[in-house]
Amino acid sequence: MLPSFPWTRLLRCAGVLVILPPLSPATAEEPPPIARLFSGSVREMEARLAAVRAERNSLSVAPSISNGGSLGFHALGNTSYQDWVLVDLGKPRPLEAIVLVPVNIAYAHGGDRDYGFPHGFRVEVSLGEDFENSHLVADTTRQPLANPTPAVVLDAEDISARFVRVTVTEPWQMPGTRRSLFALGELLVFSNGRNIAPGTSVTASRSTEAEPMWSIENLVDGQSVLGNPTTPETATLNGYHSQIETSPSEEKWVQIDLGEATVIEEVRILPARPIDWAESHGFGFPPCFRVESSLTPGFSDTKILLDRTDAPFPNPGDNPIVIPLEGVKARYVRFTATQLWKRGSDYVFALAELQVFRNGKNIAEGAPVTALDEVDVTSWANEALVDGFDSRHRLENDELQWIKGVVRQQRLSEEADVLELGLRETIGRVITRLILLASASGVTLFGLLGFTVLRSRVLRQRETDLLRARIASDLHDEIGSNLGSIALLSEIGGGPDDLVEINRVACETAASMHDIAWVIRSGHDTLDDLLHRMREVAAAMLKKIDHSFTVTPEAPPAQKISLVFKRNTLLFYKEALHNVMRHSGATRAGITVALTRKHFVLDIHDNGLGFDPAVAESLSGSGLKNLRKRAASLHGIVTINSSPSQGTTITLKARFP
């Protein structure tokens, strides 16, 4: 935060003495009063930003959760148009909404959080599996979604259906490759106030089965990046916790009494995430367990609702285990752990909440709870199993409205970011105009110096903030996403091609880390340093291609360049060389850098296969779009000349900042 000027500044305009109030820092948080005074745009943007923030802060935020072992549904390979996945609800149901949740992983070069989510899709519902009399709920083929994160909510009111089908009309393409695929984290179908999709039958045109991460059944397992619907009200207890054991084979159980025999339609088990323990998602959730119901407290007439005692169950992280039921009458519901969770050197069993639904309402809240044993710690208690809270917050009853609020909150956050950036830029322009006006009107040298110092400090602070954000983004996108590539390939791969791909991604990760370190390292802030680095990059990336690197004039001017200019130029340069290396099929390439006092002109040409730029830029994931984006960040112009069999020339003209 920069201090405001403690003195009054004077402007003399047409013989009239004007006294201006002190300047405040030019930030979006608190624009200087002078900016408001001279700009209606600043006042309008401030008012809109305040309204957006107020609405955003009133809405629910999706918690930061752990997915556990399940990622969702995945159709690996070159996904064709018209690939589909279909959910059978078992019988006709009145629908309210259909929700599509993307997969939450970063992968390969793009760091895309909407991995595999189709750029174009069609959602249809029908009473019959042949879809002869289907109802179209949504079709995004001609109007792609700007951002499907955290979920896509499609209204389907006044429609009755048994089958829900999602069809790909424009596949998602893996950045930097020609490989396309189809993936969804979860599909939710709301009817009479609740999600009725968990546990239903799913079929697809094809599916990659790589359990526990990928499975066709994971599409409707109730687990996604959304987690539990919650309110801001915080919990005071973590949930239920058994006594601590030295062996995992000790059996533990906890049960609830609903007060009377009744027909139940769903049971939900919520794993614990205690606030007084090191960050541990799915704390105490047993690897092996079963869920039972009974009409008697001794469970002499037990009915198995879910049995996972034969093999270890993947830890669900922060997601609930949903058990849909049909016509089950019960008074008591019991959860039995047959193998305990390993906690350091001992073993425990813990749950945050156990819910039982009838007619869309949780009838377990406040019910009596009994257990084989319990731990004597104040942050855990039997009654906390049915207190209406998970380990962190109160649970929201209306899940659909909560999801809509989360989606709206995300869109408002995106709008706020755009408004904040626009407000900073507008304030900068206003201050610049005032400085010019003061200079033209004969403002005193001391006043002009004050304005200049203030603007310089604001710009330096803004550049520092932007650079920090961009470096953090580089670390996330380049390093985090490439590590995600290696993890995913090692999980589902197994062939020689996958080992080659893992090696390639690992090498690219090391190179990206080296580039980031070079950008931020002190002592490499001259134009000559940048040219030297560009020579090194060309030698490494084009080692299999005959190439030249020429600078005119041969002795470049000795001038310093900003970190932002250095970073964006290097990213543009590497993106262009990546296209030459991976896609051109060239045997020769030439790189020329022409320098003037004001401009930096980069020319890269090759004798490769060439292409039609108009066609290439229309393709999803095109590297040409990345080049134009990098050029825009330099406030420069990029020209791409190419045609089939005639090679390619890429020219960047940027102005030194």
Residues 108 and 248 in one domain: no
Contacts for 16 with CB less than 8 Å, ≥ 6 apart: none
Domain count for the chain, please give it: 3
Residues 216 and 360 in one domain: no
Taking CA atoms, 474 is separated from 41, 57, 481, 533, 541, in Å, by: 33, 29, 10, 18, 19
Examine residue 8 and state whether it is found in any structural domain, yes or no.
no
Strands (E), 497-647: 546-552, 588-595, 599-606, 637-642
Query: Tens digit of pLDDT for each residue in 417-473?
Result: 888 888 888 888 888 887 887 777 664 555 556 656 666 666 666 656 565 555 655
Q: In this predicted structure, what is the pLDDT of residue 216? A: 94
The last residue of one of the domains, among 157, 190, 220, is 220
Which stretch of 232-241, 544-553, 575-584 has the lowest confidence by average pLDDT?
Answer: 575-584
Residues 211 and 260 in one domain: no
Count CB atoms within 10 A of the CB of residue 105: 23
| H-helix or E-strand spanning residue 38 | helix 33-38
Per-residue pLDDT, averaged over 281-285, amounts to 93
Query: Tens digit of pLDDT for each residue in 259-275?
Result: 999 999 999 999 999 98
Torsion on CA atoms 334, 340, 341, 343, rounded to nearest 10: 130
Contacts for 74 with CB less than 8 Å, ≥ 6 apart: 103, 116, 181, 182, 183, 207, 208, 210, 214
Percent of the chain with pLDDT over 70: 78
Residues 348 and 369 in one domain: yes
What is the domain-level CATH number for residue 187?
2.60.120.260
Residue 151, token pair as written in the block: 């979920």
Residues 241 and 355 in one domain: yes
Examine residue 486 and state whether it is found in any structural domain, yes or no.
no
Give the CA radius of gyration of the chain: 30
Whole-number Å distance between alpha carbons of 408 and 400 = 12
Residues 263 and 384 in one domain: yes
Examine residue 214 and state whether it is found in any structural domain, yes or no.
yes
Contacts for 549 with CB less than 8 Å, ≥ 6 apart: 534, 535, 538, 591, 593
Examine residue 541 and state whether it is found in any structural domain, yes or no.
yes
Q: In this predicted structure, what is the pLDDT of residue 504? A: 62
Does 9 score more than 70 pLDDT?
A: no
Residues 270 and 200 in one domain: no
Examine residue 83 and state whether it is found in any structural domain, yes or no.
yes
Confidence band (pLDDT; 50, 70, 90) for 353? very high
Residue 117, token pair as written in the block: 């989510």
pTM, full prediction: 0.61
Q: Which has the closest alpha carbon to 255: 322, 331, 333, 320?
A: 333
Q: Which has the closest alpha carbon to 605: 571, 573, 645, 648?
A: 648
- 195 forms beta bridges with 190
Residue 32, token pair as written in the block: 């200087």
Average pLDDT value over all residues in the chain: 82
Whole-number Å distance between alpha carbons of 77 and 94 = 36
Residues 81 and 212 in one domain: yes
Q: Which has the closest alpha carbon to 410: 119, 147, 187, 225?
A: 147
Long-range contacts from 35-39, C-beta under 8 angstroms, 24+ separation = 35/426, 35/427, 35/430, 35/431, 38/430, 38/433, 38/434, 39/426, 39/427, 39/430
Residues 270 and 184 in one domain: no
Examine residue 127 and state whether it is found in any structural domain, yes or no.
yes
The last residue of one of the domains, among 361, 395, 429, is 395
Q: Which has the closest alpha carbon to 150: 85, 99, 212, 95?
A: 99
The last residue of one of the domains, among 395, 411, 439, is 395
Examine residue 138 and state whether it is found in any structural domain, yes or no.
yes
Give the Cα-Cα-Cα angle 495, 501, 503 (nearest 5 degrees): 110
- The amino acid sitting at 76 is L
Q: In this predicted structure, what is the pLDDT of residue 511? A: 62
**Which range marks the domain in which residue 543 is found?**
521-655
Examine residue 205 and state whether it is found in any structural domain, yes or no.
yes
Residues 249 and 360 in one domain: yes
Pairing label, strands 321-339, 341-343: unpaired
**Whether the Cβ atoms of residue 379 and residue 237 lie closer than 8 Å to each other:** yes
What is the domain-level CATH number for residue 618?
3.30.565.10
Give the Cα-Cα-Cα angle 494, 496, 498 (nearest 5 degrees): 60
Query: Tens digit of pLDDT for each residue in 378-394?
Result: 999 999 999 999 999 99
Residues 102 and 234 in one domain: no
Residues 577 and 526 in one domain: yes
Pairing label, strands 120-126, 16-20: unpaired
Does 627 score more than 90 pLDDT?
A: no
**Whether the Cβ atoms of residue 357 and residue 265 lie closer than 8 Å to each other:** yes
Helices of type H across 358-398: none
